[in-house]
Amino acid sequence: MRIDVLTLFPEIFHSYLGQSVLKKAIERGLVEIHLHNIRDWSHDKKHHKVDDRPFGGGPGMVLMAPPVVECVEAVQAMANEPGHLVMLTPQGRKLNQAVVEELAQHPRLLLLCGRYEGFDERIRLILKPDEISIGDYVLNGGEVAAMVVIDAVIRLVPGVLGDEESSRQDSFSGPDRLLDHAQYTRPRCYRGYEVPAVLLSGNHRAIERWRLMDRRRRTEERRRDLLEGSTTLRLGESTRDEKVSKNSLGKCGDAGTCPESSATESRKESEKGCQA
Ligand code: 6GU
């Protein structure tokens, strides 16, 4: 996948692009990222001006149409296909995993980052970009939002994650779009909290059942909005019907299996009792 970023601040991306997952993806030729400075298309050869005061008055500055439109057109012509143009703006449709999946289908994306009070309206009218927002709050510019889009999209490019399964099992992924289940690693017991016994059972079917119940329960508790329209879980269908014991999720009261619940236990004994 090729991603072109059009911005007034290409430097903002440098340290992000050197980060491990992305760096490896770029080195392995799975992802190409090209940065372009919109200022290079300024008509003002002396001060490289790209913004001006809004007609009608008001605070701040507005990105001018000519440098932005001409930058986009020039960048589109830099490869065999023009690519899918995304404008990062708080007025766009809100990014979610379904939108990320849609964007990841394109072999080439152009991410147009704005600054100041916004874009001259004619930029939208002429270029008809896919306008994307990352949430209902205002950022100082589209750069951080563009990094969010890149980060979410490249996870879906085949080969970028070591294990293909890990992006499919993420929160919001798969046909049900539930939150992800709880994860545990060693030690088995920590400060009185024990790993649910089923995860240590080796019974893979039971583990899968527990994880699906946990995903449903967490989603119901935290994000009921995600369940609306879901085909796999009817609203009101309590996940508590399924045997997810309180004990397996909270403090373990059993001093016999969880030595950490007893402050007087020696470290050696607690290691023995909590061996993974
Ligand atoms: Cl994409 N840009 C800006 N400037 N603010 C935002 C945003 C984008 N998404 C949410 N807030």
141 lines ligand 1 (CB under 6 A): yes
**Residue 184 and residue 146 share a domain:** no
138 lines ligand 1 (CB under 6 A): yes
Q: Best substitution site from 8, 86, 89, 132 to test ligand 1's pocket, by max atoms within 8 Å of Cβ?
A: 89
Is the pLDDT at 246 greater than 50? The verdict is no
How far, in Å, CA of 128 to CA of 132, rounded? 12
Q: Is 239 exposed, middle or buried (0-12, 13-18, 19+ CB in 10 A)?
A: middle
- Whole-Å CA distances, 128 to 121, 215, 216, 241: 11, 39, 39, 50
**Residue 142 and residue 236 share a domain:** no
**Residue 261 and residue 191 share a domain:** yes
The CATH number of the domain where 60 resides is what? 3.40.1280.10
Indicate the number of domains in the chain: 2
Lowest mean pLDDT segment, chosen from 140-149, 151-160, 173-182, 262-271: 262-271
User: What separation in Å is there between the alpha carbon of 224 and the centre of ligand 1?
Assistant: 25
User: What's the whole-number mean pLDDT along residues 246-271?
Assistant: 46
User: Which residue, judged by its Cα, is nearest atom 6 of ligand 1?
Assistant: 90
Is the pLDDT at 48 greater than 90? The verdict is yes
User: What's the whole-number mean pLDDT along residues 240-244?
Assistant: 41
Q: Best substitution site from 99, 139, 149 to test ligand 1's pocket, by max atoms within 8 Å of Cβ?
A: 139
Atom of ligand 1 nearest to the CA of 92: 1
The CATH number of the domain where 191 resides is what? 1.10.1270.20
User: What's the whole-number mean pLDDT along residues 5-29?
Assistant: 95
The reply to whether 78 falls in a domain is yes
Is the pLDDT at 165 greater than 80? The verdict is no
How far, in Å, CA of 91 to CA of 135, rounded? 9
The reply to whether 220 falls in a domain is yes
Is the pLDDT at 254 greater than 90? The verdict is no
Is the pLDDT at 113 greater than 50? The verdict is yes
36: DSSP letter: E
pLDDT value at position 226?
92
Is the pLDDT at 264 greater than 90? The verdict is no
Q: Which of 64, 121, 51 is nearest to 89 (CA)?
A: 121
Domain stop point among 125, 154, 183: 154
User: Which residue, judged by its Cα, is nearest atom 7 of ligand 1?
Assistant: 90
Is the pLDDT at 92 greater than 90? The verdict is yes
18 lines ligand 1 (CB under 6 A): no
Q: Sort strands 84-94 and 130-133 into parallel, antiparallel or unpaired.
A: parallel
User: What's the whole-number mean pLDDT along residues 162-181?
Assistant: 80
pLDDT value at position 230?
61
Instruction: Round the average pLDDT of the chain to a whole number and report it.
Output: 87
Give the residue numbers marked as catalytic. Answer: 90, 117, 155, 170
136 lines ligand 1 (CB under 6 A): no
Q: Sort strands 130-133 and 193-194 into parallel, antiparallel or unpaired.
A: unpaired
The reply to whether 244 falls in a domain is yes
Is the pLDDT at 186 greater than 50? The verdict is yes
**Residue 39 and residue 134 share a domain:** yes
Query: 268 is in which domain, residue-wise?
Result: 175-273
**Residue 125 and residue 247 share a domain:** no
Is the pLDDT at 269 greater than 80? The verdict is no
Is the pLDDT at 270 greater than 80? The verdict is no
pLDDT band at residue 253 using 50, 70 and 90 as cut-offs: low
The reply to whether 106 falls in a domain is yes
**Residue 138 and residue 24 share a domain:** yes
% of the chain with per-residue pLDDT over 90: 74
pLDDT value at position 232?
53
pLDDT value at position 259?
53
**Residue 24 and residue 117 share a domain:** yes
